[in-house]
Structure 1
Amino acid sequence: MTAVDDRRMTEYFESFEAPEGVKVELLRGEIVMMAGPDVVHNLIVLFVQRQVPVGRWYPLQTQDVDIPAESSEPQPDLVVLPAEAAPESGRLVPASALAMVVEVVSKTSKLRDYVTKRSIYAAGGIPTYLIIDPFQAKCVVLTEPFGAGEEADYRTERTSKFGEPVPLDVLGLTLDTAEFGTLP
């Protein structure tokens, strides 16, 4: 896509009105729509959010992220940013302000979460990407982003099963996953 095409797509995306209950994201110039999440999904996000110490960190749901070099405005299930880096207002938070993004895998998001968003978040320089997979009962912590575009990735990948502690060094905490539910 050219810069003009990217700008037009972004303008169209920002004016697009999704049906109620539908989540919409701009991923590498494509508008992606998905149904609302399962209760298990929402509870996992809640359990993670409750473990992030508010005051030092702001864990935010339904927050759009600006990754300009990627023509992407993903909406992770949870973003975590230092309290002092939080913008005063606005729909988009710059990727550079984030410490971590969290995606909980759904039936229709597996490829996006494990592949597309992995490279988008790495290209945006987001230090930690946590993938929580209730179908496989595991957490994947990705750190040390490098590269650009679709070739961007994370150098370090650590996998833990549900019930095992998950170290989140970027936040200085260990995530308790004992309450995370699973899906068939």
Structure 2
Amino acid sequence: MMTIEPAGGCPLSLDLLFDWLERMPVPEGYKSEVVGGAVCLWPQRDRHWHNTIATIEQLTGAYPRKRLKSDVRIDFPGHLNGFASDVVAMAEDAAADDEGRWCCRDIDFVAEVTSRETARNDYGPKKDAYALAGVPVYLVVDPHLGQCHLLSTPSAVRTVSTRPSPSVIRST
């Protein structure tokens, strides 16, 4: 993870940070997002993709493909939070704005597949931002623990359900 400070007192914005990211030579196979103003680059691994696509496949019975998103920038409440969540299911009436961006308040469901690099954000600032945005269901797929954590009813106190998941591939 790296943090970029603008020169000359230029105020940071998510648009500025993502513009910089688009110009950077980000290596192939890396995912980028902005969490709390920090530009984060994560290597994408085969296990991660397997668990992401397995989650998407589970949702296709309840959501048409056009309402499912993966690694698409969505801005969230808090200081400079522009996430590229692993899996997002949008509400039935959700529509992108004139710039092609989706609104975090139109989200029905978010899933993040953790890795050693992303776990701190997935269980911390991203969980908090999802709650602030009113995301009704947040699923954390944790291959390292072989568990899925379901968080619902966004408020100061969140309901947590932890279940072992045989379909989650354990990391070695």
Q: TM-score range by the shorter chain?
A: 0.7 to 0.9
In structure 2, the residue matched to 1:180 is 168
Aligned length: 158
TM-score (norm 2): 0.81
In structure 1, the residue matched to 2:18 is 14
Of the three residues 33, 39, 59, the one matched with 2:41 is 33
Of the three residues 140, 149, 166, the one matched with 1:140 is 149
Q: 1:51–1:134: structure 2 CA closer, same or farther, 3 Å change rule?
A: same
Give the drift of 1:56: 8.6
Identity percentage over the alignment?
A: 22
RMSD: 2.3
Give the drift of 1:12: 2.1
1:9-50 deviation line (CA, Å, top 9, x unaligned): 323212113413222111122222222x21111011111111
Give the drift of 1:125: 1.4
TM-score (norm 1): 0.76
CA distance in 2, matches of 1:101, 1:95: 10
Of the three residues 61, 80, 94, the one matched with 1:71 is 80
CA distance in 2, matches of 1:123, 1:129: 12
In structure 2, the residue matched to 1:50 is 57
The answer for unaligned runs of 5 or more in structure 1 is: 148-153, 164-178
Q: 1:69–1:110: structure 2 CA closer, same or farther, 3 Å change rule?
A: closer
Question: What SS does the corresponding residue of 1:73 show, helix, strand or coil?
Answer: strand
**Matches for 1:150-165 after TM superposition, within 5 Å:** 154-163=157-166
Q: 1:89–1:133: structure 2 CA closer, same or farther, 3 Å change rule?
A: farther
Amino acid in the other structure paired with 2:168: F
Amino acid in the other structure paired with 1:51: Q
1:84-122 deviation line (CA, Å, top 9, x unaligned): 213266453211000111100112111111112111111
